Amino acid sequence: MNKCSKRLLVISILAAGLAGCGGSSAGSETKATAFDWKSSEPLIRPPADRADIFGVKDPTIVHHDGRYHVFMTTAGKGGWGMAYTSFSNWDEAPKAPQFMLDKSPIGPGYRAAPQVYYFAPQKLWYLIYQGGDPLYSTTSNIADPKSWTAPQPFYASVPASVKDEKGHAAWLDFWNICDDKKCYLFFTGDNGRFYRAETTLARFPLGFSEPVVVMDEKRDDMFEASNTYKIAGTNQYLTLIEAMGPKGRYFRAWTADRLDGTWQPVPGAPMNLFAGADNVKFDGRIWSEGVSHGEMVRAGIDQTLAIDPCKPLQFLYQGLDKEKGKSYEYIELPYRLGVITATAPNAISELCKK
C-alpha cells in the first residue's frame, strides 16, 4: 500500500474530514465529515385561531401508516401544554389541524418535551414527556389523540442523584431508547450534565435505576434536549445534545458502540457541531435564530429509534423566528417548526454500508 492509500485509509477510519491525497478520479476523493444542511421554511406554527399560543416547540416525529405523526410543546398564556398533528407529506404540514392534548386523558397542567415511539414487546405506543418529573402515556392507536392514557411516572420519587444542592430536581427533556436487553432513560439537567438510567426490556416501563452522569461539561456546552438513535446497519449509536452559543442554540454530536458505553465527539467541526447557524443554509429569509430542540426523522417506529445512514438525514427542529427589535418574555418566544435536510456527505452517511 502506497503512502497516499494509507493516508486515505486512516482518514476514512477516523472520519476526520481532512483533504484527500489528490487525483482526479472519484475514488481518490475523500468525503467530507462535517455536516451541512438546508432548512425549510417554517412548517408548523400555532393554530391561526389560537392567539393565546405564542409558539410550538420540542417536536417529536414518527412516520407510520403513510403519515407523519408529530407531537410538540405549546407555549401560551395558559402555560406549557402539548399538541398533536398529522400529515402525509411536508407540503401539508402548514395546514394540518392541531389537537390539544389537554383534551385527552393526558389532561391539563404542565406538559412538555414529548417523545413518541412504538414499544414492540407490548404492542403499544408510548408518549414520554415532562410534567416536572418524567411521565408517560400509552395508546394502541397513534392516530387517535384522544386515546392516550392518563400520565404515569417512571419514578415514585425524585432520585437523589438529580437533586441540586438545595434539594430541587434538576432533570428535563427525557428520552427513551432500547437495545435487545435493556431500555435506557437519558436526560439533561440544564447544568452541563448528561444522565442515563436503565431497566430491563422485560420490566419497562418500571424498574429504572438511579441515574448516573454520563458526560459533564460547561453548562452552555451541554445544555438540554438530548436525543439518541441507533445507526441502522452498524454497531454505532448517535447522541445529539443542544448547546448555547453567540449565534443561538445549536446541536453537538457524539457516537458510541453501546448505549451504556463511552460517548466520543463526532469529528469534523469545532465543538463537534451537528447543526446550527454555522452550517444551516436557507432559501431567502434566514427565519431561525439557531437550531434548537428537535428530533431526527427515523427509519422505523420502534423503541430502537433507528436512523438510516444511507438516506439524507432530516431533523425536525424548533426555530426561533423573532421580530426584529421586539422584546419577549421566555414563554412568548415565537418558536416555529421546520426541517433541515443534509446536503452533503457527513460522518453519519459515511457509515452507510450499501
What cell numbers appear for 44 in the block? 408548523
**Residue 278: pLDDT band with limits 50, 70, 90:** very high
Residues 135/297/54/38 CA torsion (nearest 10 deg) = 150
Lowest mean pLDDT: which of 15-19, 161-165, 229-233, 291-295?
Answer: 15-19
Lowest mean pLDDT: which of 11-20, 190-199, 272-281, 296-305?
Answer: 11-20
**φ and ψ at residue 166, rounded to 5 degrees:** -95, 5
Residues 6+ apart with CB under 8 A from 26: none
State yes or no: pLDDT of 28 exceeds 50: no
Q: Give yes or no for a contact between 214 and 199, defined as CB atoms under 8 angstroms apart.
A: no
Q: What is the reported pLDDT for 130?
A: 97
**How far is CA 153 from its chain centroid?**
21
Mean pLDDT for all residues in the chain: 92
State yes or no: pLDDT of 10 exceeds 90: no
- The rounded distance, in Å, linking the Cα atoms of 3 and 9 is 10
Cα–Cα separations (whole angstroms), residue 288 to 113, 270, 326, 332: 20, 21, 15, 15
Percent of the chain with pLDDT over 70: 91
**Residue 354: pLDDT band with limits 50, 70, 90:** confident
Task: Give the count of alpha carbons within 13 A of 28, CB side only.
Answer: 9
State yes or no: pLDDT of 14 exceeds 70: no
Of residues 354 and 127, more confidence is placed in: 127
Helix ranges (H only) for the chain are: 3-14
Question: What mean pLDDT is predicted for residues 84-91?
Answer: 98
**Residue 57: pLDDT band with limits 50, 70, 90:** very high
Cα–Cα separations (whole angstroms), residue 273 to 58, 94, 229: 20, 29, 17
The separation between the first and the last C-alpha atoms of the chain, rounded to the nearest angstrom, is 25
**How far is CA 160 from its chain centroid?**
26
Of residues 353 and 208, more confidence is placed in: 208
- The rounded distance, in Å, linking the Cα atoms of 148 and 219 is 35
Lowest mean pLDDT: which of 16-20, 241-245, 289-293?
Answer: 16-20
Classify burial at 266, counting beta carbons within 10 Å of its beta carbon; exposed 0-12, middle 13-18, buried 19 or more: buried
> What three-state secondary structure class fits 78?
coil
Question: What mean pLDDT is predicted for residues 172-189?
Answer: 98
Annotate 199-253 with DSSP letters as a single string: EETTTTTS-PPPPEEEEE--GGGS-EEEEEEEETTSS-EEEEEEEEETTEEEEEE
Q: What is the pLDDT of residues 230-258, one digit of tens each?
A: 999 999 999 999 999 999 999 999 999 99
Q: What is the reported pLDDT for 33?
A: 80
State yes or no: pLDDT of 5 exceeds 90: no
Residue 72: how many CB atoms within 10 A of its CB? 29
What does pTM read for this prediction? Answer: 0.90
Residues 6+ apart with CB under 8 A from 156: none
Q: What is the reported pLDDT for 263?
A: 98
Percent of the chain with pLDDT over 90: 89
Question: What mean pLDDT is predicted for residues 200-211?
Answer: 98
